[in-house]
Amino acid sequence: MKRAATAMACVLLAGCDAMPPARPGTGATRARTESYVAVPPGSVPRGTTGALAQLLPPGPPITRELMARGRERYDVFCSPCHGRAGYGDGVVVQRGFTAPLSFHVDRQQDLTRARVVEVITSGFGLMLSFAERIPPQERWAIASYVKALQLSQSFPIDRLPDDLRSQVER
């Protein structure tokens, strides 16, 4: 149990470099201890550990490309349930799957990019993990787009530039 807890903490905290080696001993335990000792200081983590490090906040800077990718991936993976605009009314929901909370209700306004990345990574309640299908950088892209969707539905009209405002008010 304690071991499971450590492994979980380790997944959440970015990687297992900090995981304490097992008690020095013989056989398998010893080999494991030695492999920890053999890692030179400052080595670049690779494989899973590297991927986990990419999940740490603050994540990549928000650029036009990141946003475009996020939109595209959101539409593929998330909109079937969360809806294209994030109201929790996607086609899967229309066919009977439990509706997620709309991203636009007050309670969801403090949703952070990091939290969205965490939910994509680990799942949440009825929602399964997408860790197998969406690589870390794309999780940040999607998370950024979710924040943009929220902003798009709550931005005060009088703060829009004139040309955009006339389009919205039409």
> Cα–Cα distance between 50 and 153 in angstroms, integer?
36
* 98 touches ligand HEC by CB under 6 A: yes
Stretch 141-170 residues interacting with ligand HEC (CB under 6 A): 142, 146
Please, what is the minimum distance in Å from the beta carbon of residue 10 to ligand HEC? 22
What is the token pair recorded at 114? 């990091």
> Cα–Cα distance between 123 and 104 in angstroms, integer?
20
- Figure out which of the listed residues 11, 67, 114, 124 binds ligand HEC, where binding follows CB under 6 A: 124
CA-wise closest residue to 122 among 113, 131, 133, 132: 131
What is the token pair recorded at 137? 């950088």
Taking the least distance from each CB to ligand HEC, the nearer of 84 and 160 is: 84
* 129 touches ligand HEC by CB under 6 A: no
DSSP labels for 74-129?
A: HHHHTHHHH-TTSSS--HHHHTTPPPPPPTTSGGGTT--HHHHHHHHHH-BTTBPP
* 120 touches ligand HEC by CB under 6 A: yes
Stretch that binds ligand HEC, among 25-33, 34-42, 61-69, 72-80 (CB under 6 A): 72-80
Please, what is the minimum distance in Å from the beta carbon of residue 23 to ligand HEC? 38
* 100 touches ligand HEC by CB under 6 A: yes
Please, what is the minimum distance in Å from the beta carbon of residue 63 to ligand HEC? 19
The amino acid at 35: S
